[in-house]
């Protein structure tokens, strides 16, 4: 008999079916046993008695089974408002595919983050984790699709690099061949720009790595960045418009495919304004929340305040901040020609957190070389990359969205680590690192 | 005026348009100049005279321009059978967006691989490179989409790992926090299996890294693997069937979207049989090509011979080889219960090269622990991963396809390095490493 997915059971009333899945719940009632069975498509209640009860006796939570049974409508008064809430599987036979050890905790227990992470092979099976990573998969696929539809082409940016390009000093070192030192990429930026010279519109979903000794709720040692870059822009505002369109597509897809998730996370679908996302210069933002306008960036607390303002004043969970001081942005960010102290740069804040950073880039070779020198960077170290500018590149810009960050804010997770399936930080790679 | 993409010019006859792009060719004819202009959608011939000729004088190859002009039909006898071959842009005005230095070689010169790689920011703009990476983008997007349609969910596998899981000794080491050593993943295998315990069907497009001191035409230090893993399989043949379906989708998409490319590479669209892909056990394959059946694997030359046989006998550019000796496969490969010397494993060969490797995995905890011990691996080092098996995992299996390898074979590239946008090997990270 072919396997029926639990999600297809509504079409199988009064039919004998075969399902395969995990035991999520077992409830003994003497001559009856109730089981909740789960597969990738959902869950259903099963009822075993007589021979089937006998076969079900060994079953415990997380055991893996193959079950034959007949789909029966529940009595009216027993129907529930949930998936398969109007039916029950009357078990004919049970075959055990895998056993499971006794669980170390209840699957619906609220665990502290470290315990949750210690037991990921088990805790990833919780409804909460499955919700988070289902939404994350929708976000990344929609991000890609939205760009492909707009003429962007995907490429694979390298993770191994020959130098710490942005000079931040936060790059991990790798023992490469023949005693060479390689570095882990802190951004796919230079490669993205190089590809723009060939394809005009490109994107990449790339791992980046930060050796920052930071253990905040916003930091991971390895993150997934969704980057795009586009040529022939008027200026940085074309990039912002593209990003806004992509974010609208992403939110629409999440809401459409996961409408039921927000209630489980005690939050609401993101507020996407009908009109354009609000845009503030850094200075305007600082004035609104009454902080020192000489500060070169927003503190986390300020980002939350500005987002509260955008929600209140513009009905938007998104707000752009533009014109960060040039010296605080990476060397490839183009200064505003009217005021070179400020750059053609922007951040996108979402529900209290910066999830994206972008800018227009240099497209003039000599101006870029001069900037490198001004910043104390040696153009020789950038010779490979500078070929892009030497051989003709259009005005271009792009930006980078943190996949874990947008996922975390979408569901109001308090720690970005919960939005990485296998988070790495100072103290952990899978297991905790010894002190 | 809004920019017109060059690919849309056929709809704009006798209209004034604005295009933006690169100068690909410049041909002087005294009072006339012909330019071939390219943007992401294609190319078109432009003709400048009078004032426009004056403005065009400085232009050289790879300069970036904004051009106003009128689309005119070419005289019948001048029409060509190529994109925009029946029209010409009569230039009204030219604005220079970026200049380019004199090129170090002709853009259509046949370069040796090292020169090609030294100048990637320029050489990625060649038709050849754009073809390769356009097809690669189609392959990876189709691979994902084919899996999503079949109930698979994407996840992000980590690149940083705590140990060299497969014990091959080919993992790069990373200086991690607090003097810890981390490793670069040589496979997303263990994470993929862990996710199968939660989502049943998962896939990941993951970077893997090999510190193998090997400089063949088949090796890269950093590669992109397209991995999937599925639970509730009957046995490894379910994985092969899924892979075959995905490969059919991939080939169909490439042929549909890039039909014109094969001729430029002097090759043909892949031969996909109407019936199932041919399947041979390793021993059967060895007998067909008359090599020693005690050898545990096929040599590159043997892979080419078997593929020639499959093409000849089955009209197929794909052929599966199964039942590799258990001791030659990774520890998680399930032995054939009827003959434990051989494993429930397979390779998929495509046009002379192994592009995919897969197997059914252990789902019984105690059997896996016994196998680890037999292989001299310490189960303690796998405690984190073994939770998967301790807490109930269905029979499952999966496989891994090399993106660069399938791309290279699709176009009969002689070196897999050409199929990585930014290839890393023993001697190169972007630039050549000093000896």
* DSSP percent split of chain B into helix, strand, coil, nearest 5: 35, 30, 35
Whether A160 and B209 lie within 8 Å, measured CB to CB: yes
As a whole number, the mean pLDDT across chain B is 96
Q: Which residue of B has its CA nearest to A404?
A: B156
- Report residue B327 as tokens: 């001791």
* B161 vs A contacts (CB less than 8 Å): 429-430
The CA distance from A293 to the nearest CA of chain B, in Å, is 35
> Using one digit for the tens of pLDDT, what is the confidence trace for A209-223?
999 988 888 899 999
| Residue A216 confidence (pLDDT) | 87
> Using one digit for the tens of pLDDT, what is the confidence trace for A320-374?
999 999 999 999 999 999 999 999 999 999 999 999 999 999 999 999 999 999 9
As a whole number, the mean pLDDT across chain A is 96
User: What is the percent of chain B where pLDDT is above 90?
Assistant: 95
Tally the C-alpha atoms within 13 A of residue A178's C-alpha that lie toward its C-beta. Answer: 11
Q: Region B405-427: what's the mean pLDDT?
A: 97
CB under 8 A, 24+ apart: contacts of B34-40: B35/B59, B35/B91, B37/B6, B37/B65, B37/B67, B37/B89, B38/B6, B39/A200, B39/A232, B39/B5, B39/B6, B39/B7, B40/A151, B40/A153, B40/A199, B40/A200, B40/A201, B40/B5
Whether residue A95 lies within 8 A of chain B, CB to CB, comes out as no
Task: With CA atoms as reference, report the closest residue to B343 among B354, B332, B356.
Answer: B332
Strands (E), A111-198: 153-154, 160-161, 173-175, 181-184
Of A151, A222, A387, the CB nearest to B121: A387
Ranking A20-24, A96-100, A141-145, B75-79 by mean pLDDT, the lowest is: B75-79
Whether residue A148 lies within 8 A of chain B, CB to CB, comes out as yes
Higher pLDDT, A307 or A78: A307
| Residue A435 confidence (pLDDT) | 61
Q: Which residue of B has its CA nearest to A193?
A: B121
Q: How far apart are CA B318 and CA A45, in angstroms?
A: 44
Ranking A310-319, B71-80, B390-399 by mean pLDDT, the lowest is: B71-80
Do residues A342 and A300 make contact, with C-beta atoms less than 8 angstroms apart? no
Whether A151 and B40 lie within 8 Å, measured CB to CB: yes
The CA distance from A362 to the nearest CA of chain B, in Å, is 11
Whether residue B421 lies within 8 A of chain A, CB to CB, comes out as yes
| Residue A199 confidence (pLDDT) | 98
* B392 vs A contacts (CB less than 8 Å): 22, 62-64, 98-100
The CA distance from A360 to the nearest CA of chain B, in Å, is 15
pTM above 0.95, yes or no: yes
Q: How far apart are CA A406 and CA A424, in angstroms?
A: 18
Do residues A397 and A360 make contact, with C-beta atoms less than 8 angstroms apart? yes
The CA distance from A34 to the nearest CA of chain B, in Å, is 19
Centroid of chain to Cα A366: 38
pLDDT at B435 over 70: no
Whether B136 and A158 lie within 8 Å, measured CB to CB: no
Do residues B406 and B349 make contact, with C-beta atoms less than 8 angstroms apart? no
pLDDT at B136 over 80: yes
Domains in chain B (CATH in brackets) are 6-98 (2.40.50.140), 114-432 (3.30.930.10)
Whether B172 and A174 lie within 8 Å, measured CB to CB: yes
Whether B392 and A195 lie within 8 Å, measured CB to CB: no
pLDDT at B33 over 70: yes
Q: Region A399-417: what's the mean pLDDT?
A: 97
> Using one digit for the tens of pLDDT, what is the confidence trace for A268-291?
999 999 999 999 999 999 999 999
Whether residue A40 lies within 8 A of chain B, CB to CB, comes out as yes
* B199 vs A contacts (CB less than 8 Å): 40, 130, 133
Whether A222 and B392 lie within 8 Å, measured CB to CB: no
User: What is the percent of chain A where pLDDT is above 90?
Assistant: 95
Q: Region B162-169: what's the mean pLDDT?
A: 73
| Residue A218 confidence (pLDDT) | 86
Whether residue A212 lies within 8 A of chain B, CB to CB, comes out as no
Report how many Cβ contacts below 8 Å link chain A to chain B. 275
Whether residue B155 lies within 8 A of chain A, CB to CB, comes out as yes
Q: Write phi, then psi, for B350 (nearest 5 degrees).
A: -140, 115
Residue A178 is given by DSSP the state G
pLDDT band for position B166 (50/70/90)? low
| Residue A168 confidence (pLDDT) | 67
pLDDT band for position A434 (50/70/90)? confident
Ranking A168-172, B81-85, B370-374, B417-421 by mean pLDDT, the lowest is: A168-172
* A160 vs B contacts (CB less than 8 Å): 209, 221-222, 424, 429
* A188 vs B contacts (CB less than 8 Å): none
| Residue A39 confidence (pLDDT) | 97
* A197 vs B contacts (CB less than 8 Å): 121-122, 124-125
Do residues A320 and A381 make contact, with C-beta atoms less than 8 angstroms apart? no
Q: Region A58-80: what's the mean pLDDT?
A: 96
pLDDT band for position B215 (50/70/90)? confident
| Residue A316 confidence (pLDDT) | 98
> ipTM above 0.85?
yes
Whether A158 and B200 lie within 8 Å, measured CB to CB: no
pLDDT at B165 over 80: no
* CA angle (A236, A237, A243) in 5-degree steps: 100
pLDDT at A104 over 70: yes
Whether residue B30 lies within 8 A of chain A, CB to CB, comes out as no
The CA distance from B266 to the nearest CA of chain A, in Å, is 23
pLDDT band for position B167 (50/70/90)? low
> Using one digit for the tens of pLDDT, what is the confidence trace for B173-197?
999 999 999 999 999 999 999 999 9
Whether A162 and B429 lie within 8 Å, measured CB to CB: yes
> Using one digit for the tens of pLDDT, what is the confidence trace for A45-56?
999 999 999 999
Of B137, B178, B390, the CB nearest to A101: B390
The CA distance from A190 to the nearest CA of chain B, in Å, is 10
The CA distance from B202 to the nearest CA of chain A, in Å, is 10
Whether residue A100 lies within 8 A of chain B, CB to CB, comes out as yes
Do residues A374 and A414 make contact, with C-beta atoms less than 8 angstroms apart? no
Of A64, A158, A426, the CB nearest to B393: A64
Whether residue A388 lies within 8 A of chain B, CB to CB, comes out as yes
pLDDT band for position A163 (50/70/90)? confident
pLDDT at B299 over 80: yes
Whether B384 and A431 lie within 8 Å, measured CB to CB: yes
Strands (E), B74-213: 87-98, 153-154, 160-161, 173-175, 181-184, 201-209
Strands of the sheet containing B160-161, edge to edge, are A160-161, A181-184, A173-175, B173-175, B181-184, B160-161
Q: Region B396-402: what's the mean pLDDT?
A: 98
Q: Which residue of A has its CA nearest to B134?
A: A153
Q: Region B352-374: what's the mean pLDDT?
A: 97
Residues 277-306 of chain A with CB under 8 A from chain B are: none
Whether residue B245 lies within 8 A of chain A, CB to CB, comes out as no
The DSSP annotation for B252-270 comes to HHHHHH-TTHHHHTT----
Higher pLDDT, B395 or B214: B395
Of B184, B222, B383, the CB nearest to A158: B222
Q: Which residue of A has its CA nearest to B154?
A: A137
Task: With CA atoms as reference, report the closest residue to A119 among A432, A433, A405, A434.
Answer: A432
Mutation for testing the A interface, residue in B158, B189, B253, B417 having most A CBs under 10 Å: B158
| Residue B232 confidence (pLDDT) | 98
> Using one digit for the tens of pLDDT, what is the confidence trace for A111-120?
999 999 999 9
Do residues B182 and A429 make contact, with C-beta atoms less than 8 angstroms apart? yes
Strands (E), A11-124: 16-29, 32-39, 42-48, 64-73, 87-98
């Amino acid at each position: 008999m072919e396997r029926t997915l639990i999600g297809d059971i509504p079409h199988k009333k009064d039919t004998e079916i075969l399902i395969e899945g995990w035991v999520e719940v077992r409830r003994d009632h003497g001559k009856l046993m109730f089981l909740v069975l789960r597969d990738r498509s959902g869950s259903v209640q099963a009822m075993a008695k007589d021979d089937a009860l006998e076969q079900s006796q060994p079953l415990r939570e997380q055991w893996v089974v193959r079950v034959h049974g007949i789909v029966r409508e529940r009595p009216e008064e027993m129907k529930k408002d949930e998936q398969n809430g109007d039916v029950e599987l009357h078990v004919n036979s049970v075959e055990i595919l895998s056993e499971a050890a006794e669980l170390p905790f209840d699957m619906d227990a609220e665990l502290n983050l470290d315990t949750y992470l210690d037991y990921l092979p088990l805790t990833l099976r919780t409804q909460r984790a499955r919700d988070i990573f289902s939404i994350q998969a929708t976000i990344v696929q929609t991000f890609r699709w939205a760009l492909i539809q707009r003429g962007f082409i995907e490429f694979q940016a390298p993770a191994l690099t020959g130098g710490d390009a942005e000079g931040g000093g936060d790059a991990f070192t790798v023992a490469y061949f023949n005693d060479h030192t390689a570095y882990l990429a802190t951004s796919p930026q230079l490669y993205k720009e190089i590809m723009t010279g060939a394809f005009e519109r490109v994107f990449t979903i790339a791992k980046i790595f930060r050796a920052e000794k930071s253990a905040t709720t916003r930091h991971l040692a390895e993150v997934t960045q969704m980057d795009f870059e586009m040529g022939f822009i008027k200026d940085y505002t074309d990039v912002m418009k593209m990003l806004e369109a992509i974010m609208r597509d992403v939110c629409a897809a999440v809401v459409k495919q996961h409408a039921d998730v927000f209630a489980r996370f005690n939050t609401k679908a993101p507020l996407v304004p009908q009109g354009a996302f609000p845009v503030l210069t850094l200075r305007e933002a600082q004035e609104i929340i009454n902080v020192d306008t000489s500060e070169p960036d927003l503190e986390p607390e300020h980002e939350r305040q500005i987002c509260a303002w955008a929600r209140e004043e513009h009905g938007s969970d998104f707000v752009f901040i533009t014109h960060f001081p040039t010296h605080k942005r990476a060397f490839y960010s183009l200064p505003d020609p009217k005021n070179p102290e400020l750059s053609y740069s922007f951040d996108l804040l979402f529900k209290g957190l910066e999830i994206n950073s972008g800018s227009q880039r240099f497209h003039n070779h000599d101006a870029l070389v001069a900037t490198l020198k001004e910043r104390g960077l040696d153009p020789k170290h950038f010779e490979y990359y500078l070929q892009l500018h030497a051989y003709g590149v259009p005005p271009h810009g792009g930006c980078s969205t943190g996949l874990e960050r947008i996922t975390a804010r979408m569901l109001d997770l308090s720690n970005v680590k919960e939005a990485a399936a296998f988070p790495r930080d100072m103290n952990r790679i899978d297991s905790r690192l010894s002190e």
